[in-house]
Structure 1
């Protein structure tokens, strides 16, 4: 059920999928955790419940219900610790680091990302890349160039090892790694490099990840505009607006608001004005749909 809800989240966003996750947690998972069972079954239930709480917290963060997300993440850590589930424990710490970066708390993001890496001493190469990529992004957010570049090299080396083995669909992949490279380049002042990495991430991304496509391509457009490539930025924002009406995500809403603000100074340009009007109409439509 957690995997099914995760698929819905990828396609449609946290605001659409989280109510289903919350209902399943209350009506099915909690009674299961209270039931009598052997130790092995109880550990397995706690582990599965921790994974579900992590996903629910991630979707709450996507809605911009950040306090609620932190509550779910805390419960996920508690359950994963009780189950001895190091994978979900360190994944949750990393998720908390992602949220901290998103909210502008760089130093906290570094501490959480480092704690996540420390909690998984026997991680395989793909997991090491997953953790090191976030460490790099968090370090770059604080301006620590040396650590950011060190961790991104670690992530790239680990990903090369992981990709030489059987590819795990749905896990940290070269697209996600190039997103992190792009974020590090952006934070360290390399605007053109950030654009290059985010373009590569887009080319490598699996089509099923619609919500991710909306957010990261919106960032790509913002980066293009920042280096003076207005027409290209407008073309990317057009693609964002093709997908945007199909997702229910507070973080995607944020990116569309940023788009409208970024385009306002350029409304004398016909292409920018066209995308601006389309974005404004689309944002009104999404808000109206959310009220029904």
Structure 2
């Protein structure tokens, strides 16, 4: 593209980030790798950009994301002196159209590679509660049919069934099923005539389903796509004035961010979830505090992390036994957060101890979680030098692995194979490696 004159704005941002041209190029390339389209920029490319040559659109997206992550704030095209992208040709006209657009993409197996290239963005704009609350008029009635609470119950029951499948078998097959249900059934319900209480309940039920579908997209590693589901869930939860699903979704977005290593963004999202739920019961409070503790630990805030963890433990002691179908928080989940906090703060032994307790307390229906977390526990046992204990734990993970269709479970098995390679002279390690390699194949 032709030069347009020196880009002083981009130069200022690189200076603010305290990057050399080479460091900046590498950061952009790392973001590109996340999209599934590796970039090969170097300092000469950065020099061209600064003299006014506009990078192609795919690179501009990666440039803005790299700068946003480094500076801890959203960076726009205008701020970076870059041409804005062309307007979308098919913008979602309303909440239902956006939901259908998401679901149709997810239903199409041929789009798997495209969806996987979606970029997780720390600069994603999150709608606040006051921005979305009560905006049910965004969902337009098609005036073609009328629904009642029976249709709401249908959506709720389907969400619970899909959640059960996800817990036991992973989301790889369950998510397209949920997407098809959204497109073919939920969208029609949202367009239909309904009394105000029924419409509000349907918005809430649809929001629950969107949150769950986003969670399953995270499980498959489709992080940019998951963010789209989550934002749509926030919009519908606000329209339904459903605090619980709104806060649960923000907390889910925080989990996604912290697992990707974006601690500051994860803490912001966890804090936003807590702020939006001032009247949370003890179980919901523990649910939110546990995530705040993990995110704070990743940012290096030892005092804040331990304080929130103690508060979560106190809230759990007071919690009632009831919980939402896929949003409940139990002692196993709290011990998992304890393990994550300890690990982030450098206490690997304490992290393994808490993870072992979580494993003993976890209900048997959570097979996918069991595979993932046993894989993580074995990695930390190996980090302590306990090779034979790690092999035992990995074998337990592999017992369930063939029954689970999960991208994150696949990641743990791939990590296992890499970590075992230096130890193949050990008979237990060799036996485990051979078993895992056969399953991975």
TM range (shorter): over 0.9
Output the CA distance in 1 between the equivalents of 2:172 and 2:225.
13
Are the structure 2 counterparts of residues 186 and 12 from structure 1 closer, same or farther at C-alpha, using a change threshold of 3 Å?
A: same
Q: How far off is 1:166 after superposition?
A: 3.5
Gaps of 5+ in 2: 1-157
Output the CA distance in 2 between the equivalents of 1:103 and 1:169.
26
Q: How far off is 1:256 after superposition?
A: 0.7
Matches within 5 A, 1:176-255: 176-255=333-412
1:108 counterpart residue number: 265
Output the CA distance in 2 between the equivalents of 1:139 and 1:248.
31
Q: How far off is 1:51 after superposition?
A: 0.4
Output the CA distance in 1 between the equivalents of 2:266 and 2:304.
13
Asked if residue 257 in structure 1 is aligned to residue 414 in structure 2, the reply is yes
Instruction: Give the alignment partner of residue 316 of structure 2, picking from 122, 137, 159.
Output: 159
Deviation string 1:229-257 (CA, Å, 9 cap, x unpaired) is: 10000000001011111111111111111
Are the structure 2 counterparts of residues 3 and 166 from structure 1 closer, same or farther at C-alpha, using a change threshold of 3 Å?
A: same
Asked if residue 47 in structure 1 is aligned to residue 204 in structure 2, the reply is yes
Please identify which structure carries the higher helix content.
Answer: 1
Q: How far off is 1:167 after superposition?
A: 4.9
Q: Secondary structure at the match of 1:64?
A: coil
Output the CA distance in 2 between the equivalents of 1:60 and 1:169.
20
Q: How far off is 1:194 after superposition?
A: 0.5
Matches within 5 A, 1:19-30: 19-30=176-187
Output the CA distance in 2 between the equivalents of 1:108 and 1:120.
19
Output the CA distance in 2 between the equivalents of 1:166 and 1:108.
31
Output the CA distance in 2 between the equivalents of 1:16 and 1:200.
30
Output the CA distance in 2 between the equivalents of 1:231 and 1:160.
35
Output the CA distance in 1 between the equivalents of 2:331 and 2:289.
13
1:287 counterpart residue number: none
TM-score by length of 1: 0.95
Q: Secondary structure at the match of 1:121?
A: coil
Asked if residue 146 in structure 1 is aligned to residue 268 in structure 2, the reply is no
Output the CA distance in 2 between the equivalents of 1:172 and 1:179.
11
2:329 counterpart residue number: 172
Output the CA distance in 2 between the equivalents of 1:38 and 1:167.
29
Output the CA distance in 1 between the equivalents of 2:324 and 2:162.
16
1:91 counterpart residue number: 248
1:56 counterpart residue number: 213
Q: Which protein shows a greater Rg?
A: 2
TM-score by length of 2: 0.63
Output the CA distance in 1 between the equivalents of 2:305 and 2:330.
19
Deviation string 1:38-96 (CA, Å, 9 cap, x unpaired) is: 11111111000000000000001101111111110010000001110000000000000
Deviation string 1:152-206 (CA, Å, 9 cap, x unpaired) is: 00110000111xx445486200000000000000010001100100000000000
Q: How far off is 1:2 after superposition?
A: 0.2
Output the CA distance in 2 between the equivalents of 1:20 and 1:124.
33
The alignment's C-alpha RMSD in Å is 1.0
Highest relative contact order (Cα 8 Å, sep 6+), 1 or 2? 1
Q: Secondary structure at the match of 1:195?
A: helix
